[in-house]
Amino acid sequence: MGMQGDFLQLLKEQGYQIGTSVPAGTEVEITRGTTILAMKYRDGVLVAGDRRATAGNMVMYDRTDKVLELDRHSVMAIAGVPATAYEMVRVLEHSFKYYRRTQLQELSFEGKLRAVSKLLKDNVAAALAGTGAVAPIFAGYDFEQGSAKIFFYDILGAEFEGVEYAVSGSGSPTIRGILHYLNTWSGHP
């Protein structure tokens, strides 16, 4: 395969079908996956997630912990491939502890954000191969700003601040739509 620079052509050559549609009247099985969310409130941030680990449309395990403490001031909620996500949490937890013990101070909030982003960027090959995609939410207290903050990431490591809330996982479009509607038209956030 030569270097042509056409990504869509490369996908077609690898067997991916682009632009196909389902004929009208075809019964399509709805896939129900998982969702994590974080919401700001007056005293901080609430982070929650369902307990299901899924493989496609099948629930593999229904008691999964998806909101994991990284240190006393930050948590990460995981969506995506559980093995990769749990390993990222372990690496972050140990990195934060190592920094605290060697530098005798906490890693800055900005440093924690960079650490999450770097792990995701280091995982790009697995994410693009479909074997290790993770789209986490990171929430914590920023001592320099004096407030709790929420950040969510795409599978390539790009970070976005959730001003009022953040959602991730396969149920996120529905939840994001509901929260946007409530925040926009309900009269109170």
Model-level pTM greater than 0.85?
no
Residue 13's pLDDT is 76
Q: Residue 65 corresponds to which amino acid?
A: D
What is the extent of the structural domain holding 68?
34-185
Does residue 12 form part of some domain? no
Q: Which positions are annotated as active-site residues?
A: 34
Does residue 126 form part of some domain? yes
Does residue 6 form part of some domain? no
Does residue 9 form part of some domain? no
Spell out, as residue ranges, where the chain has pLDDT lower than 70.
Answer: 1-11, 14-23, 27-33, 56, 187-189
Residue 124's pLDDT is 93
- Produce one character per residue of 8-46: b if its CB has 16 or more CB atoms within 10 Å, e if not: eeeeeeeeeeeeeeeeeeeeeeeeebbbbbbbbeeeebe
Does residue 20 form part of some domain? no
Q: What is the pLDDT of residues 152-168, one digit of tens each?
A: 999 999 999 999 999 99
Does residue 26 form part of some domain? no
CATH number of residue 158's parent domain = 3.60.20.10
Does residue 154 form part of some domain? yes
Residue 122's pLDDT is 94
Q: What is the tally of structural domains in the chain?
A: 1
Does residue 4 form part of some domain? no
Burial class (CB in 10 A: 0-12, 13-18, 19+), 146: exposed
φ, ψ (nearest 5 deg) of residue 148: -80, 145
